[in-house]
């Protein structure tokens, strides 16, 4: 993304190196002094602190202990996988955490009912990235809201960024299809392709953190769900859909972090020094993500100035019927994300291109945004070099390649369903 930004500025400045450096400095100065961008970057860092604190508190281990020993949630192989599926939906704060928790809870039950661990990895992976892209107050929401807001601020769109993102989330057909296919797989246990040949191998790695109260995890997440709508209501002067997404998410995370300080210290779950050191570690872990966000915004700004999207729109309008636009955008995004293993990079490349195309061709803008999101999640879901693919394999204690091979047929089914739905909604919409 940095290379693309520099190359784009080189073109914009008529190939003068000195002018390109000046433009680069001006661009990043502009980005880092824009209020909503600063809030978005702050939100990412606060998420890092919250994730680290929840992990360190023992709340996750407490929930696992509750599910394993205090409540008999699991009585069959179906309910063993279903528990991990439900946890994958509930723990939406970050895709890696989603996969790790659902995998950690599921492994002992898989061993008890002799379920091959690749099946657990499939369930973990099918809920991590898909559910993350359906929930807006996490890293996905921050990036997408920022990329859309960039297009609005440049005058490409005349809409409320948050409302557009909400509508696009509802039309995120790949994520919805992946969740539905995973649920049906668990319920009916239909093995296709390499999944038929799996052999059970007992796990030796279990979650070893000392369990504490599960409310150390559940209360911050519940508060997050409530406060996001409260701040949207406040910033929208009584109208949630007109609220500021970047401000609401930032203030939500800041409020949750303050609550966690009071709660953890008052219940003696952590000492003050330990709380601050843990929060710092979490912020440091996600600092690189905030750098990626800055580069994502910069390349979005440059492609807007180059009018890449408008050029492609004028080119496509002569060669492509508008009813195929969302489906083609989904395919292109899928290829990019599968090849690179990153949904974030795919969003950063495709949003600044797809949105002007949708405007230029008078297409359904929310549907096109949803196509980019769905395509990015497809690659994140099944690419062998995706972080969520690797983490899901690690959490379930199975081989990465085995996980990729067994999961791919189901991912392709979800992809075909999404492709058809994008076409049908374009055709009838």
Q: In this structure, are 17 and 47 located in the same domain?
A: no
- Mean pLDDT score, 8-21: 92
362 versus 201: the higher-pLDDT residue is 362
On whether both 14 and 123 belong to a single domain, the answer is: no
The pLDDT tens digits of the residues spanning 223-280 come to 887 887 888 789 888 877 667 767 887 898 899 999 999 999 999 999 999 999 999 9
Band (113; pLDDT cuts 50, 70, 90): confident
Average pLDDT over residues 371-391: 84
SS (H, E, C) 324-377: HHHHHHHHHHHHHHHHHCCHHHHHHHHHHHHHHHHHHCCCCHHHHHHHHHHHHH
* Any domain includes 279: yes
* Residue of 6, 154, 375 lying closest to 146 (CA atoms): 154
Percent helix, strand, coil in the chain, to 5, is 80, 0, 20
Q: Which of 27-41, 197-211, 317-331, 340-354 has the weakest average pLDDT?
A: 197-211
Average pLDDT over residues 105-125: 86
Predicted pLDDT of residue 213 = 86
Residue 203 lies in a domain: no
Model pLDDT, residue 373? 95
At residue 207, the pLDDT reads: 46
For the chain, give the mean pLDDT: 84
362: containing domain: 34-197+208-428
Same domain, 22 and 69: no
pLDDT at 252: 87
State whether 26 and 119 are in the same domain: no
Residues 372 and 424 in one domain: yes
Query: Has residue 366 been placed in a domain?
Result: yes
pTM of the prediction?
Answer: 0.73
189: left (phi over 0), alpha (psi -120 to 50) or beta: left
pLDDT in tens, 34-69: 887 888 788 778 878 887 898 788 887 787 777 666
Question: Does 416 score more than 60 pLDDT?
Answer: yes
Q: Do 188 and 248 fall within a single domain? A: yes
Residues 25, 139, single domain; the answer is: no
Considering the domain architecture, whether residues 219 and 70 belong to the same structural domain is answered as: yes
Place 206 in a pLDDT band, splitting at 50, 70 and 90. Answer: very low
Do 19 and 110 sit in the same domain of this protein?
A: no
Which comes out higher in pLDDT, residue 414 or 96? 414
| Residues 330 and 258 reside in one and the same domain | yes
Average pLDDT over residues 187-214: 75
Q: If DSSP states are collapsed to H, E and C, what string results for 42-60? A: HHHHHHHHHHHHHHHHCHH
* Pair 44, 190 in one domain: yes
Q: Determine the pLDDT at residue 282.
A: 87
Residue 121 included in any domain: yes
Is residue 26's pLDDT more than 90? yes
- Determine the Cα–Cα distance for residues 232 and 248; give it in Å rounded to an integer: 6
Looking at the structure of the chain, the number of domains it has is: 2
Q: What is the pLDDT of residue 211?
A: 75
pLDDT (mean) for 334-343: 79
Cα separation, 92 vs 119, whole angstroms: 20
Q: How far apart are CA 115 and CA 109, in angstroms?
A: 8
Of residues 163 and 418, more confidence is placed in: 418
Give a yes or no: residue 249 inside a domain: yes
Within a domain: residue 202?
no
Residue 375: count other Cβ atoms within 10 Å of its Cβ: 30
329 in a domain, yes or no? Answer: yes
SS3 14: coil
Q: How far is the C-alpha of 141 from the C-alpha of 169, rounded, in Å?
A: 10
Task: Give the residue, 379 or 154, on which the prediction is more confident.
Answer: 379
Distance CA 329, CA 371 (A): 6
Whole-angstrom CA distances from 238 to 66, 230, 304 are 40, 10, 33
202 has a pLDDT exceeding 60: yes
Question: Same domain for 18 and 151?
Answer: no
Instruction: Assess if residue 44 is contained within a domain.
Output: yes
């Amino acid at each position: 993304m940095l290379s693309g930004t520099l190359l784009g500025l080189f073109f914009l400045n008529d190939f003068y190196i000195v002018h390109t450096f000046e433009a680069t400095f001006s661009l990043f100065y502009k980005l880092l002094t824009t209020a909503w961008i600063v809030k978005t970057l702050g939100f990412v860092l606060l998420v890092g602190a919250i994730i680290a604190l929840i992990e360190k508190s023992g709340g996750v281990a407490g929930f696992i202990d509750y599910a394993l020993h205090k409540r008999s949630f699991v009585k069959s192989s179906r309910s063993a996988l279903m528990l991990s599926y439900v946890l994958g939906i509930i723990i939406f704060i970050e895709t890696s955490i989603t996969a790790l928790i659902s995998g950690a809870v599921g492994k002992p039950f898989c061993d008890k009912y002799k379920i091959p661990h690749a099946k657990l990895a499939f369930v973990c992976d099918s809920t991590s990235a898909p559910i993350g892209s359906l929930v807006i107050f996490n890293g996905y929401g921050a990036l997408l809201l920022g990329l859309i807001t960039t297009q609005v601020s440049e005058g490409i769109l005349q809409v409320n960024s948050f409302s557009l993102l909400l509508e696009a989330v509802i039309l995120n057909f790949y994520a919805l299809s992946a969740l539905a296919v995973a649920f049906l797989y668990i319920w009916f246990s239909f093995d296709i392709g390499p999944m038929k040949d799996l052999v059970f191998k007992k796990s030796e790695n279990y979650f070893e953190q000392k369990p504490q109260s599960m409310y150390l995890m559940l209360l911050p997440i519940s508060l997050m769900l409530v406060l996001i709508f409260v701040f949207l209501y406040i910033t929208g002067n009584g109208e949630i859909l007109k609220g500021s997404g970047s401000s609401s998410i930032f203030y939500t995370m800041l409020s949750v972090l303050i609550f966690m300080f009071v709660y953890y210290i008052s219940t003696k779950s952590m000492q003050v020094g330990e709380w601050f050191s843990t929060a710092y570690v979490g912020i440091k872990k996600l600092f690189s993500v905030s750098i990626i966000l800055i580069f994502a915004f910069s390349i979005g700004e440059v492609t807007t100035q180059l009018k890449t999207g408008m050029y492609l729109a004028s080119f496509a309008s002569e060669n492509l019927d508008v009813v195929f636009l969302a489906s083609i955008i989904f395919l292109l995004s899928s290829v990019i994300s599968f090849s690179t293993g990153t949904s974030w990079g795919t969003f950063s490349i495709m949003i600044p291109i797809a949105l002007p195309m949708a405007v230029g061709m008078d297409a359904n803008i929310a549907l096109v945004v949803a196509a980019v999101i769905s395509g990015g999640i497809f690659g994140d879901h099944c690419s062998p070099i995706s972080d969520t693919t690797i983490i899901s394999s690690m959490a379930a204690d199975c081989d990465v390649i085995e996980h990729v091979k067994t999961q791919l047929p189901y991912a392709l089914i979800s992809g075909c369903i999404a492709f058809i739905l994008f076409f049908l909604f374009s055709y009838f919409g």
